Amino acid sequence: MSTVPEYDLAVIGGGSGGMAAAKEAAAHGAKVVLFDYVKPSTQGTTWGLGGTCVNVGCVPKKLMHYAANIGHTLHHDAEKYGFEFAEKPPQFKWEKLVETVQNHVRKLNFGYRTGLRSAKVTYVNALASFEDEHTIGYTLKGKAEKVSAKNVLIATGGRPAIPADVEGAREFAITSDDLFSLERTPGKTLVVGASYIALECAGLLTGLGFDTHVAVRSVLLRGFDRQCADKIGEMLRVNGTRFHQKLPTKMARGDDGKIAVTFSDGSADAFDTVLYATGRYADTTGLGLEKAGVQALADGKFQVNDREQTNVPHVYAIGDILKGRPELTPVAIKTGELLARRLFAGADKKMNWELIPTTVFTPAEYGAVGYSEEDAVQKFGAEEVETYLWEFTTLEHAAAHREKVEWERADDFDVDFPTSALCKLVTLKNQNEKVVGFHFVGPNAGEVTQGFAVAMRAGATKSDFDETVGIHPTDAEAFVTMAVTRSSGLDFVAAGGCGGGKCG
């Protein structure tokens, strides 16, 4: 008789998707084991149970974004609204922010451990790999162990990439894996990349008062709506983030302790911190896939069918390791839960990959659902697409008369403070102006976008938006009062002062 423990499901990866699938499977009577192990970052940073989102992603990022918004409000709005401070400006302590963020993260780590225990999921803090198609091996406290599983779910997620061809980058640069627990003050920071992670980090660092520079190769937020992406760049610039169309080619530690960076145009500068956010790779090496006959693509990701099966039918994959799928925490959670219900609850519902909402938490947040204007035109044809637009200044910002941040040295962005909100609906003329693209740049975009995502999934048309009574005065009100179209050629930029609604 075999002494190897047998399970209905073995989950490799304790991030949001893996834990959701494990707990859902256990709730339907499955015997489940979950493996989680954090490989140190290039700078030696590790963390607890919960995966990227909880420890080095969504949660600490949102908390620091909130802190940055507090800082911007204190420095730029508070006096206009009647607040006076004995000490001007109020002082910020990076160490205290990190302490607050990490205390909350550790609380979540503990909650996940107890949650798995309550769900009767066996949790193993060890690096797991296949020994054959049903056997998972691992080492715990120096002893080799193994389990057998009828089904295996790979949910190992991704990690930030630092290029090997930039001398000194892997030695001196940090990533988002390191930023949110960084013990020292970031100081003057160079962020390398144009992704949403790069811009979110740059935005929050600027808002916290650090001299922040972004090195980019080309356009910002590739894959997002171009007008909205440009708006995000505009708002970052006026808030003080400085952009450079060049990339690092070499890094070295100077005698003063700073990181001396040489750029592709031959210029050089020194920074206290360099943060890379140029992409992520699938964390699937070392899983022993070949021993189970599981095939991964050249980039380490998996091409699965509509039931999340790899080429080995009882081996599944979810989350950021799927090719061509959104790398978003709620997507991994939903996919994992649906998979567990199909395996152990007799359900048949599969993941719906359409109309997935998301938000970029830059200083001016950007929420989106569905098609960008460019993608809609490409798919349906320019003659079938009608875009409704409205650009205005948020009421609270208009009253405070926000101004762009002035730097001691010349900046390449010299305009008055722009309108701070942009609303866009992309519709299809031949489908009764069904809304297929929703885009909002402005405060609290995540909260605004979530509700409209439900309406879009229900098939809302422009007339449904028009017939909805707005909440006044709000930015979101603009979406139920929009009348200017792209094709009309009329000016869609309005003076601010009454939220997104009409004032009389």
Q: Which of 55, 10, 81 is nearest to 343 (CA)?
A: 10
The amino acid that residue 30 corresponds to is A
Asked whether the beta carbons of 241 and 212 are under 8 A apart, the reply is: yes
Q: What are phi and psi of 136, to 5 degrees?
A: -115, 125
245-263 in b/e burial notation, b at 16+ Cβ within 10 A? eebbbebeeeeeebbbbbb
Asked whether the beta carbons of 166 and 248 are under 8 A apart, the reply is: yes
Asked whether the beta carbons of 390 and 465 are under 8 A apart, the reply is: no
Spatial neighbors of 249 by CB under 8 A, at least 6 apart, are 166, 167, 262, 263, 264
Q: How far is the first Cα of the chain from the last one, in angstroms, to the nearest whole number?
A: 81
65 catalytic residue (yes or no) = no
Give the whole-angstrom CA distance, residue 337 versus residue 319. Answer: 12
**315-317 and 385-392: which strand pairing?**
unpaired
How many CB atoms are located within 10 Å of the residue 280 CB? Answer: 18
Give the whole-angstrom CA distance, residue 462 versus residue 450. Answer: 18
Spatial neighbors of 179 by CB under 8 A, at least 6 apart, are 56, 186, 201, 275
Q: Which of 316, 307, 336, 317 is nearest to 121 (CA)?
A: 336
Q: Where are the beta strands (DSSP E) in 19-110?
A: 32-35
Enumerate the active-site residues: 472
